[in-house]
Structure 1
Amino acid sequence: MAQTKVLVADDDPNVREIISLYFSKQQIDLVVAGDGKQAIELMEKEAPDMVILDVMMPQMDGFEACREIRKKWDTPIIMLTAKDEEFDRVLGLELGADDYVTKPFSPRELVARIRAILRRMQPKAKAVEDVANPLTFDQLTIDLDKREVVAAGEKVSFRPKEFDLLVQMAKSPGSVFSREQLLELVWGFDYFGDVRTIDVHIKKIRQRLDKLPYECIHTVWGIGYKFGVDA
């Protein structure tokens, strides 16, 4: 079985050394970069399975590197931040990061998060469900097999978890889901992040469907969200 290849971009040599020593024992191939600019160059050359970006780096910081990576690749990204502040966490998620780890961190926890994200990306056996395919709602069509969304006659690109989240709600129109329920249903029990992840992904879904003449995802204040089309 091929080893997992992880690109780590951090300007602190001590952090890179700690990660390198631990990864070598975990059957993880490590590719290192000293800044975001070098990380982008290595994305082209190495095609890693996972990217870990420190927020504070010279040349190009982690946020900018995340933004640039998302323009071309859908590779999972974990952000490393020395600040345990909500702004950093939410900004990273909005730019396309899949998770974040606050410094100082345990290498064991970092590896656990890497493996959890990669497990969630593996194809899952289809459950036997009495659900129509495609799901059609007036000017919105969701093809479950092709993982395609057509809104107002135009095909719209979704990142994997955005699509999964949309489908989870669209399969039960009118049902109210709490953030915790959606995390469990879409991300699974091994997710380490917080419920704000749901809010960020909902915001992205709404932006992608902004050509529709109606709102599809409705906020249920104090509880969570529900899917509903009122054309």
Structure 2
Amino acid sequence: MSKRVLLVDDDLALCELLAQYLQAEGFDVCSVNSGSGAIEHLAKAECDVMVLDIMMPGMTGLEVLQRVRADNAIPIIMLTGRGDDIDRIIGLEMGADDYLGKPCNPRELAARLRAVTRRAQPGAAGYGAAEAVITLNNITMNSSTLAVTFNGEPASLTGAEFNVLLVLMKSAGQALSKQNLTREALHREFTQYDRSIDVHVSRIRHKLAESGLSDIIRSVRGVGYQMLLLENDAL
């Protein structure tokens, strides 16, 4: 079944170009040209992934992101037109799954769309039925249902956050480089000045701390991150 993409950008020509390319790549694309239009569309139609421009008149992409993330875990790729990365970092901190700079390469966008929709599917981590559940440090993750609990209470993670935490859990006790985390969790290659993993880990840490689970993901200087082994749970 074709993945349903909601493309949100006030640049009509760019929307038409990207929609044509993505449709040729097998995606089912619907384009809207305003933030309010995106909110209205999501209220009445099912979508698998959203491509969302940050800089739009009226309701900005960040405002749309905030509204959507209040009750919807749809994977979101932000399109950022500014040269610096502050908008990208803010978008990730607010719950975006990934970002691309504008003008973007349509082939790269298609690859990112496949990556975020693949990791949002239950069972995407490749576990068999008997291995679907991992419990460690009072965290339980079910890769078949994408359910997560911290200290026995349900937790809400984006698809990117789920995958980053799952990779850290699977490799508990080992230091993982940002390159490996990007490849294994985000299904793409790490690039220079890429802050995605840092922001996703920061959001995970914040959510863990809210559940009383602080200091279990350690920063390894010059390398990346490590999930500490605080108990003898077997993976």
TM class by shorter chain equals 0.7 to 0.9
Tell me the alpha carbon deviations over residues 126-174 of structure 1, each in whole angstroms, 9 at most, x when there is no partner: 447x97954243xx13143554443345332222332232232233332
Q: Measure, in 2, the Cα distance between the counterparts of 1:93 and 1:116.
A: 16
Residue of structure 2 in register with 1:20 after alignment: 19
Gaps of 5+ in 1: none
3-state SS of paired residue (1:100)? strand
| Superposition deviation, residue 188 in structure 1 | 2.6
Q: Measure, in 1, the Cα distance between the counterparts of 2:153 and 2:79.
A: 36
User: Which letter does structure 1 place at the counterpart of 2:166?
Assistant: V
Residue of structure 2 in register with 1:41 after alignment: 40
Residue of structure 2 in register with 1:158 after alignment: 157
Residue of structure 1 in register with 2:207 after alignment: 208
TM-score, with structure 2 as normaliser: 0.83
Residue of structure 1 in register with 2:53 after alignment: 54
Is 1:225 aligned with 2:225? yes
3-state SS of paired residue (1:72)? coil
Gaps of 5+ in 2: none
Q: 1:115 to 1:125 in 2, by over 3 A?
A: closer
Q: Measure, in 1, the Cα distance between the counterparts of 2:30 and 2:16.
A: 12
Q: Which moved more, 1:37-46 or 1:182-191?
A: 182-191
Residue of structure 1 in register with 2:124 after alignment: 124
Q: 1:153 to 1:24 in 2, by over 3 A?
A: closer
Residue of structure 2 in register with 1:3 after alignment: 2
Q: State whether residues 81 and 103 of structure 2, in contact with CA within 8 Å, keep that contact through their aligned partners in structure 1.
A: yes
3-state SS of paired residue (1:3)? coil
| Superposition deviation, residue 192 in structure 1 | 7.4
Q: State whether residues 217 and 226 of structure 2, in contact with CA within 8 Å, keep that contact through their aligned partners in structure 1.
A: yes
Q: 1:76 to 1:214 in 2, by over 3 A?
A: closer
User: Which letter does structure 1 place at the counterpart of 2:39?
Assistant: I
Q: 1:60 to 1:134 in 2, by over 3 A?
A: same
How many residue pairs end up in the alignment?
228
Q: 1:142 aligns with which of 133, 140, 143?
A: 140
Alignment of 1:188-203 (within 5 A): 188-189=187-188, 195-203=194-202
Q: Measure, in 2, the Cα distance between the counterparts of 1:24 and 1:168.
A: 32
TM-score, with structure 1 as normaliser: 0.84
The percent identity for this pair of structures is 35
Q: Measure, in 1, the Cα distance between the counterparts of 2:53 and 2:59.
A: 10
Tell me the alpha carbon deviations over residues 177-228 of structure 1, each in whole angstroms, 9 at most, x when there is no partner: 1111111222234677964111111111111111326411111222211112
